[in-house]
Amino acid sequence: MFLTLFVTIYFQSSSRLTNAYGLTVCSVSVITTILFMMVIKSVWKKSFIFVILFGLFLIIDCLFWSANAIKFIDGKNKKINFIFIIFLKYLKVHGLLF
């Protein structure tokens, strides 16, 4: 209940909340696509052509994400930066980052 109140007070309007939600969903989609491409190559040991073919989905996800990237102007960049840092730490812990 307190978290709901905090989120409501923080965003102050429903339009700002929906903008943040849309950007977050697009970011999760991009990250999931990248991780799945890594699974195709590393875990399933498929050839690079499968990774490239699945990369078409990444292009579509990035197009949707770039359409929502305008929300950075409204101050949504803090949340995206936080998610990106967690994503990089995950990759480092599992040895998928240099």
Number of domains in the chain: 1
Specify if 10 maps to a domain: no
Specify if 7 maps to a domain: no
- Residue span of the structural domain in which 57 resides: 23-93
- pTM of the shown model: 0.66
Specify if 44 maps to a domain: yes
Specify if 30 maps to a domain: yes
CA distance 71 to 28: 16
CB atoms within 10 A of CB 67: 12
pLDDT digits (tens, 9 = 90+) for 20-71: 778 788 888 999 999 999 999 999 999 999 999 999 999 999 999 888 877 6
Q: How confident is the model at residue 72 (pLDDT cuts 50, 70, 90)?
A: low
Q: Which residues contact 20 (CB under 8 A, 6 or more apart)?
A: 11, 71, 76, 79
Report yes or no: 86 and 68 within 8 Å, Cβ to Cβ: no
Specify if 79 maps to a domain: yes
